[in-house]
Amino acid sequence: MISVAIDGPSGAGKSTLAKRLAKELGYIYVDTGAMYRSIGLFGLREKADLQDAAAMQQLLPRIHLELASIDGAQHIYLNGEDVSETIRQEQVGMAASAVAAHPCVREFLLGLQRGMAEKQNVLMDGRDIGTVILPKATVKIFLTASPEARAQRRMKELVEKGQPADYEKVLEDIRQRDYQDTHRKTAPLRQAEDAVLADTSELDFEESFALLKKIIAEKAG
Ligand code: DC
């Protein structure tokens, strides 16, 4: 089986690039952030203390996640409900980052994620795919961009969706999430030693896509 692991901070363009790369290569795209987001959403709905590992552990047996590809689009189901849109909210992203710090939550998702890579060729994106989930991945890419470049891209997305956007707030959220994701004890965000670094701060989408395609072709071709 071929596996491509793409890790990096939020807003670096992982999911948009990963989706298109997976389509072109004919691999299954696995968005692991969506899994953490769904658990974060469940915690928010239950009004649980997301910082409390024991409280989150209690919720896990009541969480069932499923991923499906419908007409080429990825959908995630939380206990049968399609939450693909709902989990994109800013506050759900923050909740995901909080619950992702707990070892019990990471353990809960580990088996699911590894199992998917055993059955099919996958392109999996997240924070710890190359370091923890698939240490033997065929290709490992660490995709990043400066916080400012990521904040500008996020602003553009929010404006296009007609949602209120404040650059300073967006930048602050990105910095906070980077801090949380890189400083947690369990599986922090970091570049695997054998990962190829791709910095897209100065690249547009097509240029970033071409760069990643080249890296994958060199390693998996
Ligand atoms: O990639 P994303 O923004 O959808 O991820 C949401 C949060 O989930 C992110 O802040 C950190 C966490 N996450 C993680 O800890 N490990 C992963 N493999 C994927 C996401």
Whether 106 is in the pocket of ligand 1, judged by its Cβ within 6 Å, is no
| Rounded distance between C-alpha atoms, residue 131 and residue 68, angstroms | 25
Q: Closest residue (by CA) to atom 18 of ligand 1?
A: 126
Please state the length of the chain: 221
Instruction: Among 84, 107, 127, say which to mutate for ligand 1: greatest number of ligand atoms within 8 Å of CB.
Output: 127
Residue 220 has a pLDDT of 87
Residue by residue, pLDDT tens for the chain (221 residues) are 999 999 999 889 898 999 999 999 999 999 999 999 999 999 999 999 999 999 999 999 999 999 998 877 889 999 999 999 999 998 999 999 999 999 999 999 999 999 999 999 999 999 999 999 999 999 999 999 999 999 999 999 889 989 888 999 999 999 998 998 899 999 999 999 999 999 999 999 999 999 999 999 999 87
- Cα-to-centroid distance, 13 and ligand 1 (Å): 13
* 219 alpha carbon – ligand 1 mean position (Å): 25
Burial 51-75 (b: 16+ CB within 10 A, else e): eeeeebeebbeebebebeeeeeebe
Residue 39 has a pLDDT of 98
pTM of the model: 0.92
Q: Which pLDDT belongs to residue 74?
A: 85
Please say whether the dihedral angle defined by the alpha carbons of residues 91, 93, 96 and 100, taken in this order, is positive or negative.
Answer: negative
pLDDT at site 161: 87
Using the mean position of ligand 1's atoms as its centre, give its distance from the Cα of residue 216 in Å: 22
